[in-house]
Structure 1
Amino acid sequence: MAMSNDVPHPYSIEVEPLTKPEGHFGWTLRRSGKLIERSDRAYRSEEKAREAALEAADRDSKPGAGVGRR
């Protein structure tokens, strides 16, 4: 299943290089400016990190995704 690179409203994604391991990337997902999730692993490319963040946004947007979370 191909995913668009467009971030769905009201989400924003930040992909940033990590200091350790050098040359890897991490991501942060926000909904309306509020932190929702951060990557817990390092990605070898900015593109792979962005894809993982888009998947997290997709999971979070599903009905019942926030049930039991704070």
Structure 2
Amino acid sequence: MSNDVPHPYSIEVEPLTKPEGHFGWTLRRSGKLIERSDRVYGSEEKAREAALAAAERDTKPMPGMGRR
């Protein structure tokens, strides 16, 4: 998995207020919200890795769904 966010995606990793010391992420495509983490991550790096995986999943068409 690459560390670069594929164009036109953007990833925001932010600290959570509860539970303190944990992180969450938001994935956007051309500024539009695509997905938000529903789990908490113990480090900023782990949250970013999960967001990158979500971006990669979103770039691959699902079988039978056609092209986006």
> Fold-level match, TM-score > 0.5?
yes
Which of 53, 56, 61 aligns to 1:63? It is 61
Uncovered stretches (5+) of structure 2, i.e. residues with no partner: none
Query: When the two structures are superposed, what TM-score results if normalisation uses the length of structure 1?
Result: 0.87
Residue matched to 1:38:
36
Residue matched to 1:15:
13
Q: CA RMSD in A?
A: 1.2
Uncovered stretches (5+) of structure 1, i.e. residues with no partner: none
Displaced runs of 4+ in structure 1, greater than 4 A?
Answer: none
| Distance across 2 between alignment mates of 1:24 and 1:4 | 23
Query: When the two structures are aligned, how many residues end up with a matched partner?
Result: 64
